Structure 1
Amino acid sequence: MGLTDWIGFIGVFQILLAYFLNVIGKISNKSLVFILLNLVGATMACFASILLKYWPFIILEGVWALVSLYSLIEKIRASRI
Structure 2
Amino acid sequence: MFGADLIGAAGVALLLGAFAANLLGMVEKESLAYPSANFVGASLATYASWLIAYMPFVILEGVWACVSLVAVLRSVGRPRHAP
Q: Which band: TM-score by shorter chain?
A: over 0.9
- Aligned partner of 1:2 in structure 2 is 2
Q: Which residue identity lines up with residue 50 of structure 1 in the other structure?
A: W
Superposition deviation, residue 7 in structure 1? 0.0
Superposition deviation, residue 78 in structure 1? 2.1
1:31-70 to structure 2, matched below 5 A, reads: 31-70=31-70
- Aligned partner of 2:24 in structure 1 is 24
Comparing both structures, which one devotes a greater share of its residues to helix? 1
Quote the Cα distance in structure 2 between the aligned partners of 1:14 and 1:44.
Answer: 9
CA contact (8 A) 2:32 2:76 kept: no
| Number of corresponding residues | 80
Superposition deviation, residue 44 in structure 1? 0.2
Structure 1 segments unaligned to the other structure (5+ residues): none
Superposition deviation, residue 71 in structure 1? 0.4
Q: Which runs of 4+ in 1 moved over 3 A?
A: none
- Aligned partner of 2:13 in structure 1 is 13
Quote the Cα distance in structure 2 between the aligned partners of 1:56 and 1:79.
Answer: 37
Q: TM-score, normalised by structure 2?
A: 0.90
Q: Which residue identity lines up with residue 72 of structure 2 in the other structure?
A: L
